[in-house]
């Protein structure tokens, strides 16, 4: 199965071509240009390097977030255009789930954490089951203290011995709080904290082969409102209160 994997949820624009779960070509770009400028030329370049055409792609995988609102929309719009014009099966994968596939150690549990400033984060909890990770706690946005409280309560109730690894930029930023709550926890190496279109593709492939769910509409995973919208709502609330 030939797979095109697209990640536009962070500063890095990533495109990978896979044959099943084997990497054929991987391109990453962090040039400062917008993803709208980078993405199509990168896809064309990746297909050329892999010596295949878009018509030979059997599955497209894209990152649905959380992450950059603009980047996510660009990636999803591109994938939908391919699906509508070429009828290629597509599957959306969350950034947090894709991060779990960066981990290849003996941990049966992986908590993905992405920092979203001011002690807030996006997080989700996954359990390794063979080649796939099953979702135990769905992606959500909380402050780091609530995050760790939710995790501890869940693990205490469901696991006697929880060998857990934390991955993502939030795991480094909040490392002290994590270690205070989970003394035996492993913090993934920093080079594993970046989103990766190759592992995104592996996640999409494994999920597709297990579920075959490529008909579900691909929608952005927005765990909180865009900052501009939140600021506007706060401003309007202030106006209404003063009125």
pLDDT confidence of residue 223: 85
pLDDT confidence of residue 216: 78
State pLDDT tens for residues 1-13.
999 999 999 888 9
pLDDT confidence of residue 49: 97
pLDDT confidence of residue 81: 95
pLDDT confidence of residue 232: 60
pLDDT confidence of residue 112: 98
Using CA of residue 192, residue 195, residue 198, residue 201, what is the dihedral sign?
positive
pLDDT confidence of residue 233: 53
* Alpha-carbon gap, residue 192 to 169, rounded angstroms: 9
Q: Edge-to-edge, what's the strand order for the sheet holding 59-63?
A: 22-29, 13-19, 2-7, 59-63, 90-93
Angle at 12 between CA 191 and CA 207, to 5 degrees: 75
| pTM metric for this prediction | 0.88
Q: Spell out the domains of the chain, with CATH numbers in brackets.
A: 2-94+195-227 (3.30.420.40), 103-192 (3.30.420.40)
Angle at 52 between CA 211 and CA 60, to 5 degrees: 25
Residues of the chain with pLDDT under 50: 226
* Alpha-carbon gap, residue 233 to 100, rounded angstroms: 34
As given in the structure block, the two tokens for residue 71 are 């980047």
As given in the structure block, the two tokens for residue 134 are 């099953």
pLDDT confidence of residue 36: 87
pLDDT confidence of residue 238: 63
Peptide bond into 101 cis (omega under 30): no
pLDDT confidence of residue 213: 63
């Amino acid at each position: 199965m030939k797979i095109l994997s697209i990640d536009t949820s962070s500063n890095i624009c990533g495109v990978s071509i896979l044959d099943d779960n084997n990497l054929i070509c991987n391109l990453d770009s962090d040039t400062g240009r917008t993803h709208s400028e980078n993405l199509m030329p990168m896809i064309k370049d990746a297909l050329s390097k892999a010596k295949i055409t878009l018509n030979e792609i059997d599955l497209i995988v894209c990152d649905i977030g959380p992450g950059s609102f603009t980047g996510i929309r660009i990636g999803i719009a591109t994938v939908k255009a391919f699906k509508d014009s070429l009828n290629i099966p597509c599957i959306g994968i969350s950034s947090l789930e894709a991060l779990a596939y960066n981990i290849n150690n003996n941990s049966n549990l992986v908590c993905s954490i992405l920092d979203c400033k001011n002690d807030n984060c996006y997080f989700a909890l996954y359990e390794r089951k063979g080649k796939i990770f099953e979702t135990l706690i769905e992606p959500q946005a909380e402050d780091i203290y609530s995050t760790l409280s939710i995790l501890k309560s869940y693990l205490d109730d469901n696991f006697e011995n929880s060998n857990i690894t934390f991955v993502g930029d939030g795991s480094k930023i909040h490392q002290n709080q994590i270690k205070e709550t989970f003394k035996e926890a492993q913090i993934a190496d920093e080079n594993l904290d970046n989103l990766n279109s190759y592992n995104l593709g592996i996640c999409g492939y494994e999920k597709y082969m297990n579920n075959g769910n490529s008909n579900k509409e691909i929608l952005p995973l927005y765990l909180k409102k865009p900052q501009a919208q939140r600021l506007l709502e706060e401003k309007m609330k202030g106006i209404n209160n003063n009125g």
